[in-house]
Amino acid sequence: MAEAGEQPEADQIGDQRQRAEPEQQRPARSTGTPTMRANSALPPAQGLYLPRFEHDSCGVNFVCHLKGEASHRIVELGLGALCRMQHRGALGAEENTGDGAGILLQVPDAFYRQVLPFELPEAGSYATGIAFLPAEPDMADRAIGMVDEIIRQEGLEILGWRDLPIDDSMIGDAARAAQPTFRQLFLAGTCRARAEALTLAHKAGANPEKVVEAIGGGVAGSWILQNRSSNMLNDTYPLGFRTRLHRKDLAIALDAARTFEVPVPVTSLVATIEDSLIAQGFGDEDMSSLARFVRRGANVPDGPMKG
């Protein structure tokens, strides 16, 4: 029996053997980060993708049409695949209470236009997501109000909220006790739209400042857009967030979109406009200078817009 501070004989032999082994033959000491095999089939680091973040998951199924045609049949196949993934919907004491599972699909634009009580902009120029809200109605409304305020602060437009139809007839008691309220949010950007509204008001003989006041009182109101509207009205674009830096961020987003084959027509359009502005020497102006593009396209002279 070894005394404190001494190694057992077997450990001493193992330590000597390890020191005698060539460095390249030793197994890598664990650092808490998965190591990649030399013959790994994973692609190299590129864009936003880093292979070191790859890890095993509970299970993922992928269903698609080889020609990119959207259909409800793909949704049916996706649900069928999901129901066959027993571990991802792990069961507890109740066989009808799982740990949560679902499917991710393309935005069904045509379907939304049939069921929504409000108008949507062109496909690809809005975003949508499902909110899991408190079950108590007053608390759910309060949470929605907080989300709405953040959206306005970010200079985005709230298109509307949709109450989702659900079928909870088959869920267990434990799942029912924790069931949230489901609402669907639709939103869009407003900066370019505001530039177009101000230019249209100017050419139509309306007072652009009154247009700013009217828009600011609606769902498109926010401190950011109020500030940008002043730039657009005065045709001066002091340093805020430089257009060339914003274009650099868009390049990252566009590269990721190409990698994952996601159509982003609005982002591509903004990138094209910003490329034009940068080429004309406006890259160090605030990104609200995209109003220059709209004004010049409408043959509005440079300078302040007045009613």
Active site residues: 58
Determine phi and psi for 232, rounding to 5 degrees: -65, -40
In this structure, the dihedral spanned by the alpha carbons of residues 299, 120, 245 and 46, taken in order and rounded to 10 degrees, is: -130
Q: What's at 87, amino acid-wise?
A: H
Distance of alpha carbon 252 from alpha carbon 271, whole angstroms: 11
How many helices (DSSP H) and strands (DSSP E) are in the chain?
11, 3
Q: Which of 217, 218, 150 is nearest to 185 (CA)?
A: 150
119 Cα distance to chain centroid: 22
- The residue behind tokens 């730039």 is 231
Tokens of 268: 């591509």
Which helix (H) or strand (E) covers residue 128, if one does? strand 127-133
CB 103 within 8 A of CB 78: yes
